[in-house]
Homo-oligomer: A and B are copies of this chain.
Amino acid sequence: MAWDLKNDRPIYTQLIEQIELKIFSGEYPPGARLPSVRDIAKDAAVNPNTMQKALAKLEEDGLVVTHRTSGRTITEDAEMIKRAKNQLAERQITEFLEKMQLMGFEKRETLTLITKLLEEMKK
């Protein structure tokens, strides 16, 4: 699983992000059952209350559905998952480009930088 939580940000926000990533990557496919709050909290080495907070937010966003006494599942709405995924991707990209721009790298410059870095990784 590898939850890898830093403490430069509230844990519950990191939990939200990481679960989102698992949903978007397909590790948690649409309709899949999530472990119970207690189990998933244990897995992430986190207090159940904290995990609960994260899951509540995910439900609010519609990515997760709660079944009062039989746990939670990922939404069946694959289309909405895809939408959320693309939305996040676009936000990541623009934020990244903006930050690079603030550092003094023009957008084109950033692009060539990435390309070069990828070339090196292939070798």
Instruction: Say whether A107 faces chain B, with CB atoms less than 8 Å apart.
Output: yes
Main secondary structure of the interface of A (DSSP, over half): helix
- A25 and B103 form a contact (CB under 8 A): yes
Number of copies: 2
Q: Which residue on B lies nearest to A117, using beta carbons?
A: B93
- A85 and B99 form a contact (CB under 8 A): no
Contact with B along A95-123 (1 / 0, CB 8 A): 01101101111011001011101100100
- A89 and B108 form a contact (CB under 8 A): no
Partner of A118, one of B96, B102, B111: B111
Interface residues of A, Cβ cutoff 8 Å to B: 8-10, 13, 21, 24-26, 85, 88-90, 92-94, 96-97, 99-100, 102-105, 107-108, 111, 113-115, 117-118, 121
